[in-house]
Amino acid sequence: MTQEENIANIAPNNTQPTDNAETTATDNVEATATDSSTSQAESATAQPEGNTAEPVAPTVYFDDLDLNDDLLDALYDMQFDTCTPIQGQAIPPLLEGRDLIGVAQTGTGKTAAYLLPILSKLHEGNYPQDAINCVIMAPTRELAQQIDQALEGFAYYLDGVSSVAVYGGNDGIRYEQEKRGLQLGADVIIATPGRLISHLSLGNVDLSHVSFFVLDEADRMLDMGFYDDIMQIAKYMTAPRQTIMFSATMPQKIVELAQNLLHDPVEVKIAVSKPAEKIQQSAYICYEPQKLRIIEHLFKQSSPERVIIFVGKKSRVKDITITLKRRGYNAEAMHSDLEQAQRDDVMWRFKTNQIDVLVATDIVARGIDIDDIQMVINFDVPHDCEDYVHRIGRTARANRDGRAITLVSEQDQPYFRDIERFLEKEVLKNPIPEELGEGPEYQSGGGKRGGNGRRGKDSKGGRSGRGSRNGRGRGKGKGSNGKAANGTEANNKEVNSKEANGKEANSKEANGKERSRSRNRHKGQEKKQNAPSAQTEPAATAAPTAAANPASPSAAADASDQAQKAKRKHRRGSKSSAQAQEPSAQAQQPGQD
């Protein structure tokens, strides 16, 4: 069953005809987007059947969305003006309070797609004080940390919105910090399933007031065996809630989870991207015992630097790492059995070139941002095409070159054929070094062939180009005087609960003058319209104007509206006029993850 069929099965009642033949933004959506072609975010309408043309959708600006002004200020400081496809299509229905299921890869900006509307709604109020209002589930500690860092950047100007990251592998001090933040009722909890279950079983957390429940990388959580944990956590959420699910793939088990948790969801699907063109992909058709010797051959040809070897099982990660160390290579292992401090240490040493070879499970395939990886080696062929894209996508980042080599054993050949069909091209087959003997024949779809044989081009069409990638939510931006949340460092931070919010008060107060000057520039036109008293208070808006002229409240409201328009026009700059001239001719530019 294809992903499209699985998505259609989530809420079959949603496809029933209605009295109104037009599809609105509140109807279910299945929208496919590429780097250069996306569906219009605000209308989010489905393409009519039989329409094979790919319309060029206009660029969607964050200013066009109904987001909180303080949130827009943070985006402006981080120089984020335009939405990625997943953001443009997901944010409007989420602001309306709809449940949503999104199919999108890592690097498409999906973290901001759900964080921005949630933060905007929390800042508006009408949610319980001193209570947990949002729970975000992530499969790994690293992803939980990166979501927390992104939230910290987006919420920099949002007073009163607190968060705490909850994940395992820490010492007792960290556990007590998590416990205190949970008991005080941080607004947003970012957690791994196992750790949150631990706190729930000890009575440290009350989820009865949760209004937002987010599952990020849901397919990965189910692969790791967290289905029962997720369902158990959901039972603690007794209040009506908005449920949001993002997944890179849409297998049947994700459909079942969505049917159990989501109600009448909006469906947004971003086409799976292909690997970057700068990645030199190749493969060795070999027997299992030849794999390590092929790796040694590669390392003899070129001294290994910044190499990741992906292995399917953590037990084999340990064995391969030990073998490489015995043979004199500077290698370290990265897998889920390591304590958090060990994982942080390994990643830091790898990023700082103290480790040449990182042998890892797929824990490193998603959400780890390292730009200068020279080579990726797939010791095992991943069983999902999307996992293959994620793995080799660690190299050739930031417009660099990179190599991706896959070692294909006899039992892995069917999976590699699936990958070639997905890529719609034949991956180069390297000859096995003579001293290693001959390898097995490669079984193509049309019969047997040797390792260097060719096969016909797969006729399967309809695949789109690379998915849009950007660095949404990777830092606090200009003027924050804080550490950039760029996802390249996994920091153990103090709990950002309401008890801890006061610690940053002095820093924000120190930046007040700079922020005021920035807002003063944003509101240049407002100054001309407001009374003289408003000129001495950059943060004032409609209230001083109305006070100066109490006899004309409508004029004050008009002045306030014009001031808001001037502020947004200043943020956008020349882009605003370009959008007004040709709104349908602008294509979304892919960002950098």
pLDDT (tens digit, 9 = 90+) per residue, 330-367? Answer: 999 998 788 878 888 998 899 899 999 999 988 776 65
Distance of CA 159 to the CA centre of its chain: 25
pLDDT at 584: 37
Contact present, 586 and 58 (Cβ < 8 Å):
yes
Would residue 392 count as lying in a domain? yes
Statement to judge: residues 423 and 319 lie in one domain: yes
Residues 6+ apart with CB under 8 A from 322: none
| Cα–Cα nearest to 475, from 188, 158, 152, 162 | 152
**How many Cβ atoms sit within 10 Å of the Cβ of residue 99?**
21
What letter represents residue 501's amino acid?
N
Statement to judge: residues 249 and 293 lie in one domain: no
Statement to judge: residues 101 and 238 lie in one domain: yes
| Cα–Cα nearest to 187, from 232, 234, 117, 128 | 128
Report the C-alpha gap between 84 and 61 in whole angstroms.
9
**What is the bridge-based pairing of β-strands 331-334 and 188-191?**
unpaired
Q: Provide the b/e sequence for 334-363 (b: ≥16 CB within 10 Å).
A: bbeebebeebbebbeebbeeebbbbbbbbb
For CA atoms 154, 591, 463, 406, give the dihedral sign.
Answer: negative
pLDDT at 558: 56
pLDDT at 272: 67
Would residue 498 count as lying in a domain? no
pLDDT at 493: 40
pLDDT at 57: 52
The secondary structure of the chain in percent helix, strand, coil, rounded to multiples of 5, reads 40, 10, 45
Statement to judge: residues 112 and 149 lie in one domain: yes
pLDDT at 329: 95
Final residue in a domain of this structure, among 272, 304, 336:
272
pTM across the whole model: 0.56
Statement to judge: residues 190 and 214 lie in one domain: yes
pLDDT at 193: 94
Would residue 454 count as lying in a domain? no
Task: State both tokens at 192.
Answer: 């791994």
Would residue 469 count as lying in a domain? no
Task: State both tokens at 526.
Answer: 């407002």
In 267-382, alpha helices (H): 291-301, 314-326, 340-351
- 169: domain range? 56-272
pLDDT at 185: 85
Would residue 66 count as lying in a domain? yes
Final residue in a domain of this structure, among 449, 469, 495:
449
Contact present, 361 and 317 (Cβ < 8 Å):
yes
How many structural domains does the chain have? 2
Statement to judge: residues 87 and 205 lie in one domain: yes
Query: Which positions of the chain have pLDDT values less than 70?
Result: 1-58, 106-107, 272-273, 365-369, 397-399, 445-593
pLDDT at 531: 38
**What is the bridge-based pairing of β-strands 442-444 and 447-449?**
antiparallel
Q: Provide the b/e sequence for 558-568 (b: ≥16 CB within 10 Å).
A: ebbeebbebbb
Statement to judge: residues 174 and 307 lie in one domain: no
Statement to judge: residues 250 and 312 lie in one domain: no
| Cα–Cα nearest to 546, from 532, 530, 526 | 530
Statement to judge: residues 267 and 285 lie in one domain: no
Would residue 401 count as lying in a domain? yes
Report the C-alpha gap between 178 and 579 in whole angstroms.
46
Q: Provide the b/e sequence for 220-249 (b: ≥16 CB within 10 Å).
A: bbbbbebbebbeebbeebeeebbbbbbbbb
pLDDT at 87: 94
Would residue 422 count as lying in a domain? yes
Residues 6+ apart with CB under 8 A from 425: 457
Report the C-alpha gap between 468 and 10 in whole angstroms.
26
Statement to judge: residues 222 and 265 lie in one domain: yes
pLDDT at 384: 83
pLDDT at 564: 58
Q: For position 377, which CATH number holds?
A: 3.40.50.300
Tens-place pLDDT, residues 261-290: 999 999 998 876 677 778 899 999 999 999
Report the C-alpha gap between 283 and 376 in whole angstroms.
11
Report the C-alpha gap between 324 and 391 in whole angstroms.
21
Final residue in a domain of this structure, among 449, 467, 486:
449
Statement to judge: residues 77 and 93 lie in one domain: yes
Statement to judge: residues 264 and 287 lie in one domain: no
Would residue 518 count as lying in a domain? no
Residues 6+ apart with CB under 8 A from 157: 70, 71, 73, 74, 515
